[in-house]
Amino acid sequence: MKIFLSASILILAVSGCSILGPSNTVIKIKGSETMVNLTRRLTKEYSKENPNTSFIVEGGGTGAGIISLVANEILISTASRNLEPEEVKLVAERYGTVGVSTSIAKDALCIYVNKANPITNLTTEQLVRIFSGKITNWKMLGFADRTINVYLRNNSSGTLQLFKKLVLKESQFANSAKSYDTIAELQSAVEKNEYSITFSGLVKDTKCKIISIENIEPTNINVVSGYYPLSRYLHFYTLKQPEGEIKIFIDWVLSAKGQKIIDEEGFYSLFNYSLE
């Protein structure tokens, strides 16, 4: 059985806006906040070469994108995680298929702290204890005698669900954790609070500090090889096998040109493409 995976697709304009030229085709995309800026860049560059195709791109989270796909409101859902069993069941019951997932890039789920924080590495067990509220003071980790402020994305975030699955497992997030709707809000909160910590996909030009996990940094080779503990794929989900303009667009994303943009945006391309 094929599993649905979605990756954020980037739009030509600000999230929720559209750029419509003299086109015959409009492709609506919604989903992962991690992928939204990437999707905007990809669709912008694609439309330069294919002016008869326009895009409407929104974020909102992987879960929100999947809901819109099932409701037939969009053509592509971007996702930073696999579909949950109940989501697969919903798609199957409504459409008689589990849909099609296309991996377009790799990403690192990174741990962010304020730049004033001297800590450079945490173990997986320490992460479990921090984000579940069992370690509540930075002094327990060799920093200041101050409360740890845990910041999270909201429940629609695929990144949140993946972190819980890979790191917390049976544990629950701390009741004191504060949630934010977007990655931009999350990053801004950590920038302003010396005693905060969060996680998200790799953020290009972040003003926060990324720390290692088990002394492994999220470098290109570590992420692509899977050596970094929290490596993941980013996906495009469609209800059926891509065809027509959607297939042409996805094929372009997987081409040398598209994968080069993925590298430029701070993610990790699937292939070692080189452009002449």
Give tens-digit pLDDT for 39-49. Answer: 999 999 999 99
| Residues 92-115, mean pLDDT to the nearest whole number | 96
Q: Which residue, among 165, 189, 169, has the nearest Cα to 177 in the 3D structure?
A: 189
The pLDDT confidence band at residue 19, using thresholds 50, 70 and 90, is very low
**What mean pLDDT is reported for the chain?**
90
Q: Is residue 169 predicted with pLDDT exceeding 60?
A: yes
What the block records as the tokens of 150 is 């845990």
Q: Is residue 21 predicted with pLDDT exceeding 80?
A: no
Choice among 2-6, 55-59, 72-76, 156-160 with the minimum mean pLDDT: 2-6
Query: Each residue of 58-69: pLDDT tens digit?
Result: 999 999 999 999
Sign of the CA dihedral running 131, 35, 229, 81: positive
- DSSP, collapsed to helix, strand or coil, labels residue 257 as helix
What percentage of the chain carries pLDDT values higher than 90?
83
What the block records as the tokens of 117 is 């924080």
Q: Is residue 255 predicted with pLDDT exceeding 90?
A: yes
- DSSP, collapsed to helix, strand or coil, labels residue 174 as coil
272 or 205: which carries more pLDDT confidence? 205
> Is 25 exposed, middle or buried, given 0-12, 13-18 or 19+ CB atoms closer than 10 A?
middle
pTM, 2 dp: 0.80
Residue ranges and CATH numbers for the domains of the chain are 18-106+232-264 (3.40.190.10), 108-231 (3.40.190.10)
> Residue 205: what pLDDT?
86
Q: How far apart are CA 223 and CA 108, in angstroms?
A: 6
> Residue 273: what pLDDT?
53
- DSSP, collapsed to helix, strand or coil, labels residue 142 as coil
Q: How far apart are CA 3 and CA 126, in angstroms?
A: 32
Q: Is residue 201 predicted with pLDDT exceeding 50?
A: yes
Distances (CA, A) of 33 to 125, 133, 225: 27, 25, 24
Q: How far apart are CA 186 and CA 110, in angstroms?
A: 13
Q: How far apart are CA 55 and CA 39, in angstroms?
A: 10
Choice among 21-30, 60-69, 78-87, 215-224 with the minimum mean pLDDT: 21-30
In this structure, the number of other CB atoms found within 10 A of the CB of residue 117 comes to: 20
Q: Which helix (H) or strand (E) holds 59?
A: strand 53-60
> Residue 101: what pLDDT?
96
Q: Is residue 1 predicted with pLDDT exceeding 80?
A: no
Beta bridge partners of 209: 113
> How wide is the angle at C-alpha 72 spanned by C-alphas 28 and 160, nearest 5°?
75
> Residue 5: what pLDDT?
39
- Contacts of 46 by beta carbon, 8 Å cutoff, 6+ apart: 53, 55, 249, 252, 253, 258
Choice among 14-23, 57-66, 201-210 with the minimum mean pLDDT: 14-23
Q: Which residue, among 76, 7, 70, has the nearest Cα to 36 in the 3D structure?
A: 7
What percentage of the chain carries pLDDT values higher than 70?
90
Beta bridge partners of 121: 212
Q: Which helix (H) or strand (E) holds 259?
A: helix 256-264
Q: Is residue 165 predicted with pLDDT exceeding 50?
A: yes
